[in-house]
Amino acid sequence: MAKQAKPRMALRDTVGDKVFYTINAIVLGILALIVLYPLYFIVIAAISDPDAVLGGKVFLYPVNLNFEGFAKIMERKDVWLGYRNTILYTALTVVLSLIVTVPAGWALSRNTLPGKRLLMIYFIIPMFFGGGLIPFYNVMSGLGLVNTIWAIVLPSILSVWNLFMTKTFFESSIPTSLIEAAKIDGAGSFRIFIEIVLPLSKAIIAVMALYYAVGQWNSYFNAMIFLQNENLYPLQLVLKEILIASESTVGGSGETILQQYRLANQLKYVSVIVSSVPVLLLYPFVQKYFAQGVMIGSLKG
């Protein structure tokens, strides 16, 4: 989006153009409000008196500041355990995924690689066709991974999409002549990768680390089907219990519902904040890398 059509001529906008720009800006502004308001509301609801929230008194600003929710969530052992587990899973996933993805991306970007076409086909097929959930489950259980942390980590350490993105990055960002110069200087394939390619690939390594990290941080499904031991539950699974599980059982008279709500409601708002804070805090700093990643991917689509 960087440097886009800024006409060099100092032309006056016509009336029509002015109207266009204004309407354009207004619509986008409204869209931004639609995106931001729910997030903002979560924050103000989390720090307002739960009764005020339930009573519909909180819309634009916090009412009767109340931080009990945060105190309550501090007491929840499962949340902190989930937090710890998620951090562990995410760290493991990132380290392993980089080891698997980056060298493979480099190798696939080499035109001299014999059988490159076959390898590409090998990686492309799973993008469009898979065995489905049940065979996947059976493989995991056959490998003895069920109810271990590896059931969460191992299947997440390679995304073919990310692999291709890495490959495209290498193809477009590492000049061939650089590699040839290193060859003539006497470096072998491994040394070229480690001493020349890796130092020049910080951007893609950062992007990949972030993609894998966010993916693992936010995932719940594999944990849900593969983990029975609650001590291994990642944060998202704990959150699911807090945020959603109760909802489907909601029934009965309005009075009990209200009671339930009062107890759980603030905790929900708070837990949304607590769980999303690391990602959202990081986000503004790393978003340029994220977007960069998509653009790398789009180069060759």
Partner 1 sequence: MSEVIMKGLKKVYDNKVTAVHDVNLVIKDKEFVVLVGPSGCGKSTTLRMVAGLEEISDGELYIDGRLVNDVAPKDRDIAMVFQNYALYPHMTVYDNLAFALKLRKVPKAEIDKKVKEVAEILDITQYLKRKPKALSGGQRQRVAIGRAMVRDPKVFLMDEPLSNLDAKLRNQMRAEIIKLRSRIDTTFMYVTHDQTEAMTLGDRIVIMKDGFVNQIGTPQEVFNRPVNLFVAGFIGMPVMNFFDNCKVLLENGVYYAEIRGVRFKLSEFQQKALKENGVETQEIVAGIRPQHITVGEGELKATIEVSEMMGSEYNIHARSNEDEVVMLIPTYDLATDVSMGRTVAFTTKPELIQLFDKESGNNLIWYDAESAQNNSPVCKRYDF
Partner 2 sequence: MEAANPAKRAVKERAPRVKKKRTKEQRILSLKENAPYFLMVLPAVAVVFLFNYLPIYGVLIAFQDFMPGDKILSDSTIWIGFQNFERFFSDPMFWPLMKNTFLICIIGFIIGFPLPIIVSLMLNAMKGKKTAKVLQTIFNGPHFISLVVLVGMLTLFFGRYGLVNNLAASLGGERYSYFLESSAFRPMYILSSNWQDFGWSAIIYIAALSNVDPQQHEAAILDGATRFQRVINVDLPAIMPMISVMLIMSIGGLMGVGYEKALLMQTDGNLQVSELISTYVYKRGLTGVPDQAYATAIGLFNSIINVVLLIIANTTSKRFSENSLW
Residues 141-200 close enough to bind partner 1 by CB under 8 A: 175, 177-178, 180-187, 191, 196, 199-200
The C-alpha atoms of residue 184 and residue 161 are separated, in whole angstroms, by: 33
200's contact among partner 1, partner 2, none, with CB below 5 to 8 A by partner kind, is partner 1
Report the 10 Å Cβ neighbour count for 255. Answer: 8
The nearest distance, CB 197 to partner 1, in angstroms, is 10
Q: Which of 173, 19, 24, 157 is nearest to 97 (CA)?
A: 157
Enter the DSSP assignment of 147.
Answer: T
| Alpha carbon 98 to its chain's center | 16
What residues from 83 to 142 belong to the interface with partner 2 (CB under 8 A)? 99-101, 103-104, 106-108, 110, 112-114, 119, 122-123, 125-126, 128-139
272's contact among partner 2, partner 1, none, with CB below 5 to 8 A by partner kind, is partner 2
70 binds partner 2 (CB under 8 A): no
Enter the DSSP assignment of 112.
Answer: T
164's contact among partner 1, partner 2, none, with CB below 5 to 8 A by partner kind, is none
# residues near partner 2 by CB under 8 A = 114
182's contact among partner 2, partner 1, none, with CB below 5 to 8 A by partner kind, is partner 1
Residue 19 is encoded by which pair of tokens? 């109207």
Q: Which of 30, 113, 105, 95 is nearest to 293 (CA)?
A: 105
